[in-house]
């Protein structure tokens, strides 16, 4: 299918990819990846494909110069059945945010792979911003706020790479928590997940070292939302002060949860960090280069400038 038919001119670049999702107008993904390609001297681009049309995307990915795609909501699960293979991260989380392409050495057939770099973004946000993980969060309980896809990615990262000995789940909706526990258990990494529903329960539990907040930035209004906030504040008030990654960064990375966490003495890691490190991990798959070869500082600078510009 000609990409010109959807208003995209890919003829001026040697290779191209897509950001496939809806809505994606606020996404900084194309800016991040263009910064990487420009600094590497690659005539590549990532084009935004704001669409719900999976069949359209499947035709576009067949272009011989397409290197892959970032896949965002609502397609992270729907894309699974259209992939030939999954990395361990993609299979274990059960959602894919990255498609990359490899060639079968025998047949020359293009193989469409899926992976989940959100988990790496969460992991690297902590290890790149916490100077002493042993003192901060290793071998301690962790806490995840939320019940969606980001919460599942956080659970995977905390248990697989960050030495969390158990994970407390805090959320306004008990059915969402049960769904996370059931799904993670079915994928064989849910045995240490604990639903913390009340402040009384939270008061009797050990303090945590790492928290990941995976909810939108809005003040709690319902009784369930207020109780979830009280549970969070109970853990923030405990004697051990660790690090919290606030995944929400739109429209601003400094949220209510970031504010109360900082006031409680916690180290706050902004969600743009996770966005940056998951994006760099994507470029490792697409370019074949190691993180040490990618322009990490330049990407940080460009994203910081964009955020500053958005506040003006």
Closest by Cα among 78, 77, 69 to 50: 69
| Owner of token pair 């990618």 | 294
Alpha helix (H) ranges present in the chain? 29-40, 54-60, 88-93, 118-129, 133-136, 149-160, 174-186, 199-203, 223-237, 256-263, 271-287, 296-311
CB-CB contact of 137 with 244 (8 Å): no
Burial category of 146 from C-beta neighbours within 10 Å (exposed 0-12, middle 13-18, buried 19 and up): buried
CB-CB contact of 272 with 258 (8 Å): no
CB-CB contact of 13 with 45 (8 Å): yes
Does the active-site annotation cover 289?
Answer: no
- Options 12, 76, 241, 263, the catalytic residue: 76
69 pairs with which residues across the strands? 18, 99
Q: Is the dihedral of CA 152, 96, 78, 48 positive or negative?
A: positive
Residue 163 region by backbone torsions, left for phi larger than 0, else alpha for psi between -120 and 50, else beta: left
Catalytic residues: 76
């Amino acid at each position: 299918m000609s990409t010109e038919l959807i208003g995209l001119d890919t003829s001026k670049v040697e290779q191209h990819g897509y950001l496939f999702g809806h809505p994606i107008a606020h996404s900084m993904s194309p800016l991040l990846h263009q910064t990487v390609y420009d600094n590497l001297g690659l005539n590549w681009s990532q084009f935004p494909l704001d669409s719900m049309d999976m069949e359209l995307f499947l035709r576009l990915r067949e272009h011989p110069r397409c290197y892959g795609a970032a896949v965002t909501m609502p397609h992270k699960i729907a894309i699974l059945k259209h992939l030939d293979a999954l990395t361990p991260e993609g299979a274990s989380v059960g959602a894919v945010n990255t498609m990359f392409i490899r060639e079968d050495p025998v047949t020359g057939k293009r193989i469409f792979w899926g992976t989940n770099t959100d988990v790496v973004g969460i992991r690297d946000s902590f290890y790149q911003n916490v100077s002493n993980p042993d003192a901060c969060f290793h071998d301690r309980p962790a806490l995840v706020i939320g019940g969606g896809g980001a919460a599942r990615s956080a659970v995977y990262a905390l248990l697989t790479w960050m030495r969390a000995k158990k994970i407390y789940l805090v959320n306004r909706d008990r059915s969402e928590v049960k769904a996370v526990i059931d799904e993670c258990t079915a994928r064989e990494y849910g045995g240490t997940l604990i639903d913390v529903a009340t402040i009384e329960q939270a008061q009797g539990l050990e303090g945590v070292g790492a928290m990941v907040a995976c909810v939108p930035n809005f003040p709690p209004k319902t009784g369930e939302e207020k109780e979830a906030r009280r549970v969070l504040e109970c853990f923030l008030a405990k004697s051990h002060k660790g690090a919290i990654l606030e995944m929400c960064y739109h429209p601003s990375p400094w949220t209510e949860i970031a504010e109360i966490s900082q006031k409680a003495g916690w180290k706050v890691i902004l969600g743009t960090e996770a966005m940056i490190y998951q994006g760099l991990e994507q470029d490792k798959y697409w370019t074949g280069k190691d993180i040490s070869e990618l322009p990490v500082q330049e990407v940080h600078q460009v994203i910081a400038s964009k955020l500053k510009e958005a506040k003006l």
